[in-house]
Structure 1
Amino acid sequence: MNLATAVAIKRTREIGTRKTLGAPRFQMVTQFVTDSVVLSLLSLLLAIAIVYTVLPFVNVFASKELSITALPVEWMVGVLLIIFIVGILSAQYPAFVASRVSIVDALKREVKFGGTSLSVRKALLIVQFAISIIMVASTLVIYQQLNYLREKDLGFNHENMVVIDVNSRNLRRNFETVKTEFSKPAEVLGITASTRVPGEWKSFPIATTKSSENINGSEMIFVGIDNDFLDTYQIKLLAGRTINDPVADSLKIVLTQLAVEQLGLTDPIGQTLEIPRVRYGERMEELEQPFRVEIIGVVEDFHFESLRANMMPVIFGALNTSIQVIDYYTLKIKTDNWAQTIETLKTINNKVDPNTPLEYTFLDSRFEELYVTDARRGQIFLTLSIIVVVIACLGLFALVSYSVESRMKEIGVRKVMGASVNSIVGLISKEFLILVVIAGVVGLPIAWFFMRSWLQEFAYRVSFGVSVFALAILLTLFIAFVTIGLRAARAARMNPVNSLRLE
C-alpha cells in the first residue's frame, strides 16, 4: 500500500489531466486497481517460478517429497482469490484519495493523505522490523551455539577416527585376527574394540554402582573395552592403569573422575565396588549375584553423549569376548588420501569377512549427527531471516518513497537554500532509522526470551549477551540505511526546478 500510495502521488498530474479531459472517477479507480492486480499476478508467477527452482533443494534438506503439483485445486483457487483481494485492497485507498483531489491540486501535485493512515503504516513497519530483528538475533545465537558445540573440547580425540560397525560373527569372534589385519596399513596408527563408542545412538547399558561411601549407588554408563581403547581415543589416565588382559582383568574396572566423585571415593585405586543391577533402556535387570569389581584406574572426564545432556560418569570394564559382544572397532588414521585408505580397509574387510561389506562412519560425523536438527534449524532461521529482512526493506522502501514524494517541494526548497545531498539524505533517514531502533527495543526482549528457552535444551551452552543483540541491531540498521539512502539520494539529486516550477 505504501508503494501504491507513492506511485499515486507521482501520477496526480496524470490524474489531473484525465479529469480535465472528462475522465470519470470510476475509470481512474479501476485503472489503479487493475494495475495493482496485474502486478500481484506477476508476483504470483515469479513466486511459482522460485518455488519450482527451490523446492528440490528443500526436499533434500528436509528429507521430504513435496511437490507444488500436489496442491489441491481448492488451494490454488484460494491463492488466486487472495492475490485478487490483496491487489484490490492495496490499490483501493490511494486510488480513492487520488481520484477525489481537485484538478488544480492534482496538476500542482498537492495531494494530502491521511495522518492516521501514515501512523498505521509506520506501526506496521515497526512490527516488520521487530520480526526481522528477532530472526536475525535468533540466527546469530543459533550459529553461535552450533559453533560452540563443534569447537568444545570433548575430552578425547575424535578427529581422523574411523568407526567400523560390527555386524557379523566373523568380526566378533576373530577379535585378535581382525585387529591384527586392520592394523597392518601404515595409515592406521591405532585400533581398538569396544561395546560402545562416543556419540552412540543406541542406548547405553547403565550400571547401578555402590561403594562403602555411597550405599544407595549411582547410575553410570558401562563400556566394555580392550587394552588399546584409552590410547586410541587419547583419554588421559590420571591414576592407576588401564585394562591389560580381558581374562585376568575381567573383574577390574577403570572409572572417570565424575564416577569417583559420585561414589564419594578419596583414594579409589584398589577399592571394591558392587554392581547389583544393569538397565538397558527402559528394562532394568537385577543380577542374581551382584558383581564385585576392583578399581584399577581413573581417567579424565569426557563427553560420551550429546552436549544436550549433562556429562555421565563412565565405568570401563574388560572386553571379555566370551560374555560380551563387540559392537565397534575404532581406527585412528593418518592419511592424505582418504579414498585410497578406505579402499584399503574394504580390501582387508573382504579378507577377514568376505560375506559382509564394510560398514563405517567417521567419529566426528557421528557427533555432528547428534545436532543435525539444530543445524537444520539454523539454516531455516537464516533463510527466513533473509526473506523477512527483504520484505521489511521493501516496506521501508515504499514508505520512504511515499515520504519523499510528499516532501518533494520541501526538498527542492532546501536544495535552493544550499542543502547538500548528504544533509537531505540524513534528514530523511533519521525519521525511519528511529523506527528501526524502536523495532529493536520491541524485538530484542522477545528474541532473548525465545533463545534463552531454546538454549535450556543444552546442558552445555553459550552465554549470549549484549554483543549478539548489538550486532543484530547494527546489521538491521545498516541494511535499513542502505535501503533508505538509495531512495533518498535519488530524490536529493533531482533538479529542484522540477518540484518548484509551479510555485
Structure 2
Amino acid sequence: MFQNYLKIALRQLWKHKLFSAINIFGFASGLMVCFLTISHIKVVFEYDNFHPKRDRIYRIITDVRNGTQGPAMTATTPLSLAPALKQDYDFIEEAVRYIPFNRMIPDRSFRANDKQLAIDAAVVDPGFFNVFQFRIERGRPVTDPLTVVITPKTAFRFFGTSDPIGKVLQHKTLGLVTVTGVLAEPPLNSHFKFEALFSIASFPQITQRGSSQVWQWQYYKQAYTYVLVKPASTRDHLQQVLPSLLKRATGGVHATPKVDYRFQVQSLAQLSPATEQLRERMVNEKSYAELAVEFLIGLITLLLAGFNYVNLTLARSISRVREVGIRKAVGALRWQVMSQFMAESVVVALLAVGLAYGMAILIRPLPAVQLWLISGQAWDLQVWLLFLGFALLAGMLAGWVPARILSGFEPAQVFRSFSGLRVIRGFSFRKALIVAQFIVSLVAMILLVTLYRQFHFLSTADYGFRRERLLTLPLDAPPRSSLIQALSQVAGVEGVSASSALLSELNQIRYVRSNRASQDSTQAIVVDIDSSFVQTMGLSLVAGRNFPRPAGLTSRRSASRFILINEEAVRAFHLGFPGDAIGRALWLNDSVEVQVAGVLKNFRFSFLAQPIQPLVMEYQPDRFRYLSLAVTAGTEQMVLAETKRIWQRQLPYEPFLGEWYNDYLSTKYDNSPYTDFLAVLIGLSLSIASLGLLGMVTYNLQLRTREVGIRKVMGATVQQLVTTLSWEFGKLLVMALLLAYPLGYLAGTALLRNFAYRVTIGLETFGLCVGLLLLLGGLTIGLRTYRAAQANPTDSLRTE
C-alpha cells in the first residue's frame, strides 16, 4: 500500500511540475534555515561536556540589586574572590580566574616574526589547567610572569611551521612575552573562546592577595571566577559561605549604598543554554530565549512554505476532489485518502531536504553563518537524524490541513457540484491563506529591514566627535614633546592631541563623590587627555573652559587638578545645571580632589546599544598612549607619508601602526556579516511569497482560460482583461499590507528597544518593504495575466 501511495505521489508531482518546484523550493528554504539553527542549538547543548570534572565545577556570578532598576545578574566577580575562596575554605579544591585580555589592556595587537596580529587572549591562574580539560600539547603551562601558551592556529599565524616554544611575542604595554607551550586545539563546544592564555603573574596589580583595591566594585566586571569543589562537597556548601565571605572581605570598602551586591552559584552545566541572559557573559554563551529566536526565524520561513503548500494543494482541489469522490465510491476509508495526501507532502519534504542541504552548503561560507549559527559544528549522523525527523514532521503537518479538508467530502456532494471552500462569507480558505502568507512575509521583512538599518546606523552614526580625516598613532610610552612638535609642523596637520585611550575604547572606571564626607558615590568612565584634545576631536564646551595649557612642572601639576565632565556627569553627580558645576570639587576614588573646569556637550563614546554614561576627563601625561592628528581635506596621503618619515626618524625600533580613525570605527562596528545573512533571509522570504503567488495566479488562470477567450471574442481589450484578472489578487495584497503594517511596526519597535540609540520605523522601512512586495507581486500577477490575455481565443474555445 505504501508503495502505491509513493507511485501516485511521484506521478502527481511530475504532472504538476511548476507547483511541485514551488513547493520543494519553499520547503527547502525553510528547512535550510532550520538546518543551520538545529546544528547550532545542538552545539550549545553540548557546551563544556568534555571536562572530566564538569559536575564539580561552578562559576560564581554577581547579583547586582539596584533599588530603582531591580536585580541584574552579572557573570563576573571581584578580582580577589578566587584567592580568598581557595585560601579560606578546605572543601574547595581549586579556585581560578579567567580574565579576557582586553579587560586588562584594550590593545590586542602582538608582534612577532615581522608580523603584527590581533589575537583573542585571556589571563588565567596557574590552576586553570587543573580545573578545565585544555590539554598542553607541547611545553608547559603558564606560571611565571610574562609567559603565554598559544593555540596551534595562533602558532602557525606567527611562526609558520617552526617550533614556537621559547619564542617571544611583543606587546606595546606588556613588553616581551615568552611562549612556554602550545595547547591542543581547543574544542569548539566550549563557552570559552581564546587563542592565547597569559599568566596572571604578568599583572602584579591583580595578584596582591587580600588587597582592598581589587575588592572594590569598580573591578567586579573584569574576572570570571570558577570553583572546583572536592568530591564530597556540594553546591550548597559553596553557596552557604559566600555571604559571610562577602561581608568580611568588603567591610572596609566604600560602595554605593543604593546598590546591593550578592554572590550566586552557577553550575557549569547551567552556563549555556542559560535560563536568563547574564550581563558581561562570554561571547559563546547563549540563553534559551536567544535559541528560541534563532529557531523562530527558521520556523517563520518554513511557515511561509507551508502556506504555499496548503494554498496550491487547495487551489487544485477542484480536480483532486473528484479523485477523492471516486476513491470513496469504490470503498476507500477516510484515513486511506488522508494517507495518500500525507504521502505526497512527505515526498515533497524529503526532496526538499536534498535541496536544503545544497543551499546550506552555498551560504555556509558566510561569516555570519560561521560565527552565529554553525560555530564549526560538523553535520554528523545525529544532526542528520534530528534534521530528517524535523523535515518529516514539517511535511506531515503541512499536508495534514489539505488532507483533512479534501478527505472529508462525500461522493454524492462531489459528483453533484463543487464550488470551493469557505471560511467566511465570500472569502475562501485559500484566499485567507494568501493574505496570511503575505502578512507573515511583510512582518518578517519589516523586522529584517529594521535590523539591517539599525546595524548600518551603528557603523555610520554621528557619534558627536570627529572621525573623518583623523590619524591615530598608538604609543608604547608617553609621547615625547619633540615628536608632538614635529608632527604639529607637518603641512596639512590642523592639530595634534594626546590621550590615554581612543574614545571608542574607554573602559577605565572610577567612583566619584560630590562630597568627601558622603558615603554616596557614582560610577564614571575616566580618560586622560591633553589641552588640545577637545579642539582636535571637535568636542563642544557648554560651560566653563578647557584645561589650562601647561608650560612647566608647576603648571603641569596645576593642570592635573582640573577635570572636564560631560552633561550626563552633571546630572549623575547632582550638580544642577552645567554652569553650576564649574568650580565644584569632586573626589575620585574617595581620595583625589579635583575641580570641574568645564562641561562638555554629551557625545557617544561607547556602543550605541548603551546609553551615554558619566565621563570624566583629566590631565595625567604619564598615562598618554595615543596621538591623534586632525588633517586638512586633500592632504591625507601627504600627511601619512610625512608622519611615517618622522616616526621612523624618532622611533626607529617601534613599528608604525597609524590608522585612520574612520576606518578603525567602521571595522570595529562592522556588521556586514550579519547584514549579509539578513539580506539572504529577506530574499528567501520574498522568493517564497512571490513563488506562492505565481502558483496561485497560474492555476487560477488555467481555470479561467475559456472565460478569457469568451471575453476577448466579446470585444474585451488586453488592458481590460489584465485589470479584471489581476484585481482579485490585487485586493489580497492590499488587504495584507493594511493588516501587516501595525503588526510589523509593533514588532520592530519592540526589537529596537534593545538599543539605546536606534533608527525609526517610518516610510524608509515600511515604504521599502511595501514597495518591494508590490513590485514583485505586481510583476508576478501582471506578467502572468498579460500572457493569458494575449492568448488566441480560438485555442481555448475550439472544443466548445
1 CA distance for matches of 2:581 and 2:393?
A: 79
| Alignment TM-score, normalising by the size of structure 2 | 0.49
Residue in 2 that maps onto 1:23? none
Q: Is the 8 A contact 2:495 2:631 kept in 1?
A: yes
Shift of 1:114: 5.1
Residue in 2 that maps onto 1:20? none
The alignment status of 1:154 with 2:463, answered yes or no, reads yes
Q: Is the 8 A contact 2:547 2:559 kept in 1?
A: no
Shift of 1:175: 3.2
Shift of 1:329: 1.9
Residue in 1 that maps onto 2:433? 124
Shift of 1:332: 1.8
Residue in 2 that maps onto 1:176? 481
1 CA distance for matches of 2:605 and 2:393?
A: 57
Deviations 1:189-240 (A, max 9, x none): 322111232211x52323414169x995554332211121112112234433
Q: Secondary structure at the match of 2:366?
A: helix
Deviations 1:14-43 (A, max 9, x none): x9xxxxxxxxxxxxxxxx999999998887
Residue in 2 that maps onto 1:223? 527
The alignment status of 1:502 with 2:799, answered yes or no, reads yes
- Structure 2 vs 1, CA of residues 397 and 411 (structure 1 numbering), >3 Å: closer, same or farther? same
The alignment status of 1:310 with 2:619, answered yes or no, reads no
Q: Secondary structure at the match of 1:292?
A: strand
User: Which of 693, 698, 718 is residue 421 of structure 1 equivalent to?
Assistant: 718
User: Which of 414, 417, 421 is residue 115 of structure 1 equivalent to?
Assistant: 421
2 CA distance for matches of 1:141 and 1:57?
A: 21
User: Which of 581, 594, 602 is residue 301 of structure 1 equivalent to?
Assistant: 602
- Structure 2 vs 1, CA of residues 412 and 40 (structure 1 numbering), >3 Å: closer, same or farther? farther
Q: Is the 8 A contact 2:459 2:670 kept in 1?
A: no
Q: Is the 8 A contact 2:587 2:593 kept in 1?
A: yes
Q: Secondary structure at the match of 2:559?
A: coil
Shift of 1:420: 1.8
Q: Is the 8 A contact 1:393 1:480 kept in 2?
A: yes
| Alignment TM-score, normalising by the size of structure 1 | 0.74
1 CA distance for matches of 2:367 and 2:700?
A: 39
The number of residues matched between the two structures is 459
In structure 1, give the amino acid aligned to 2:451: I
Shift of 1:392: 0.8
Q: Is the 8 A contact 1:243 1:254 kept in 2?
A: no
2 CA distance for matches of 1:295 and 1:276?
A: 12
Residue in 1 that maps onto 2:624? 326
List alignment gaps of at least 5 residues for structure 1: 16-31, 278-286
2 CA distance for matches of 1:300 and 1:368?
A: 24
Shift of 1:391: 0.7
In structure 1, give the amino acid aligned to 2:528: G
The alignment status of 1:478 with 2:763, answered yes or no, reads no
User: Which of 586, 595, 600 is residue 274 of structure 1 equivalent to?
Assistant: 586
Deviations 1:113-132 (A, max 9, x none): 85369944333333321222
User: Which of 483, 493, 496 is residue 790 of structure 2 equivalent to?
Assistant: 493
2 CA distance for matches of 1:266 and 1:344?
A: 41
1 CA distance for matches of 2:646 and 2:361?
A: 46
Residue in 1 that maps onto 2:750? 453
Q: Is the 8 A contact 1:161 1:363 kept in 2?
A: yes
In structure 2, give the amino acid aligned to 1:297: G
User: Which of 250, 256, 259 is residue 566 of structure 2 equivalent to?
Assistant: 256
- Structure 2 vs 1, CA of residues 187 and 38 (structure 1 numbering), >3 Å: closer, same or farther? farther
- Structure 2 vs 1, CA of residues 266 and 184 (structure 1 numbering), >3 Å: closer, same or farther? closer
2 CA distance for matches of 1:340 and 1:50?
A: 48
Deviations 1:456-501 (A, max 9, x none): 1222333434674355334312321111112111111112222222
- Structure 2 vs 1, CA of residues 80 and 498 (structure 1 numbering), >3 Å: closer, same or farther? farther
Residue in 2 that maps onto 1:55? 364
Shift of 1:395: 0.7
> Cα RMSD (Å) of the superposition?
4.6
Shift of 1:434: 2.3
2 CA distance for matches of 1:114 and 1:66?
A: 49
Residue in 2 that maps onto 1:136? 445
Shift of 1:345: 4.1
In structure 2, give the amino acid aligned to 1:416: V
Deviations 1:344-365 (A, max 9, x none): 5445444444444233444334
- Structure 2 vs 1, CA of residues 63 and 231 (structure 1 numbering), >3 Å: closer, same or farther? same
Deviations 1:393-438 (A, max 9, x none): 1111111111111122222221221122222222222222222233
In structure 2, give the amino acid aligned to 1:275: W
1 CA distance for matches of 2:766 and 2:577?
A: 45
1 CA distance for matches of 2:432 and 2:729?
A: 11
In structure 2, give the amino acid aligned to 1:316: M
Q: Is the 8 A contact 1:208 1:275 kept in 2?
A: yes
Residue in 2 that maps onto 1:165? 474
Deviations 1:73-111 (A, max 9, x none): 465577778599969969x97xx99xxx9xxx9xxxx99
2 CA distance for matches of 1:119 and 1:49?
A: 36
Q: Is the 8 A contact 1:271 1:295 kept in 2?
A: yes
Instruction: Point out which structure has higher relative CO (alpha carbons under 8 A, 6+ apart).
Output: 1
More displaced, 447-456 or 330-339? 330-339
2 CA distance for matches of 1:252 and 1:33?
A: 78
Q: Secondary structure at the match of 2:524?
A: strand
1 CA distance for matches of 2:587 and 2:625?
A: 22
Residue in 2 that maps onto 1:191? 496
Q: Is the 8 A contact 1:138 1:381 kept in 2?
A: no
2 CA distance for matches of 1:317 and 1:80?
A: 62
Q: Secondary structure at the match of 2:725?
A: helix
In structure 2, give the amino acid aligned to 1:240: R
2 CA distance for matches of 1:344 and 1:495?
A: 76
1 CA distance for matches of 2:546 and 2:670?
A: 37
1 CA distance for matches of 2:375 and 2:588?
A: 52
User: Which of 539, 546, 549 is residue 235 of structure 1 equivalent to?
Assistant: 539
Residue in 1 that maps onto 2:592? 291
- Structure 2 vs 1, CA of residues 428 and 465 (structure 1 numbering), >3 Å: closer, same or farther? same
1 CA distance for matches of 2:349 and 2:609?
A: 46
Structural mapping, 1:376-455, within 5 Å: 376-455=673-752
Structure with more of its chain in helix, by fraction: 1
List alignment gaps of at least 5 residues for structure 2: 1-308, 324-340, 551-555
Q: Is the 8 A contact 2:445 2:685 kept in 1?
A: no
Structural mapping, 1:58-77, within 5 Å: 58=367, 62=371, 70-73=378-381, 75=383
2 CA distance for matches of 1:177 and 1:227?
A: 17
- Structure 2 vs 1, CA of residues 152 and 500 (structure 1 numbering), >3 Å: closer, same or farther? same
Deviations 1:363-402 (A, max 9, x none): 33454456445x6544433321111111111111111111
Q: Is the 8 A contact 2:474 2:627 kept in 1?
A: yes
Residue in 1 that maps onto 2:294? none
In structure 1, give the amino acid aligned to 2:509: P
Q: Is the 8 A contact 1:274 1:292 kept in 2?
A: yes
- Structure 2 vs 1, CA of residues 475 and 307 (structure 1 numbering), >3 Å: closer, same or farther? same
Q: Secondary structure at the match of 2:783?
A: helix
- Structure 2 vs 1, CA of residues 230 and 38 (structure 1 numbering), >3 Å: closer, same or farther? same
- Structure 2 vs 1, CA of residues 133 and 412 (structure 1 numbering), >3 Å: closer, same or farther? same
1 CA distance for matches of 2:764 and 2:532?
A: 45
2 CA distance for matches of 1:158 and 1:372?
A: 15
